[in-house]
Amino acid sequence: MLTENSHVGVLGGVMKKRRWSAEEKRRIVEATLVAGATVGQVAESYGVGASLVYVWRKRYRAEKRTAGSEHAVKLLPVAVRGEQPAMEIELAKGRVRLAGVDGSLLTVVLEMLR
C-alpha cells in the first residue's frame, strides 16, 4: 500500500529526461522573482533542480535586457563650449543641469548612462 510518504523508484529502466516548455520555464523563473521566494523552494515545488532554474533565470534576464534594448536610452553628440561647460540631462520627469563640469566627470556620467 502506498502512503503519502512512499517513494516509487525505477528498477532496471532508464529515466526519461523531462522537457520543459518555454512557458513552463518562464512561469518557474517568475515564481523565483516573487518577494520571499527562494530558487530552492520554487525548484523543489516544480520538481526541477535548482541549478537548472539558475540557468533559466540567467537566460530570462538576458532576454529581458535584449527586449528592452529597443527602448534603450539613445545618447546624443556632446559639444563642450566655453571655459565652464555645463551638463544638462533631460529625463522623463524633468531636467538636470550641472555647471562647471569637467571632461572626466562628463565621461563617467555618459558611461553610466550606457
Q: Report the pLDDT value the prediction gives residue 88, as an integer from 0 to 100.
A: 76
pLDDT under 70 in the chain at which residues?
1-15, 68-76, 78-85, 113-114
Please state the domain extents for the chain: 22-71, 73-114
Which residues touch 32 (CB under 8 Å, ≥6 apart)? 38, 39, 42, 53, 57
Query: Strands, E, within the chain: which ranges?
Result: 86-91, 94-99
pTM of the model: 0.48
Q: Look at the block and give the residue holding cell 529526461.
A: 17
Q: Report the pLDDT value the prediction gives residue 63, as an integer from 0 to 100.
A: 86
| pLDDT tens digit sequence for 99-109 | 777 777 777 77
Which residues touch 111 (CB under 8 Å, ≥6 apart)? none
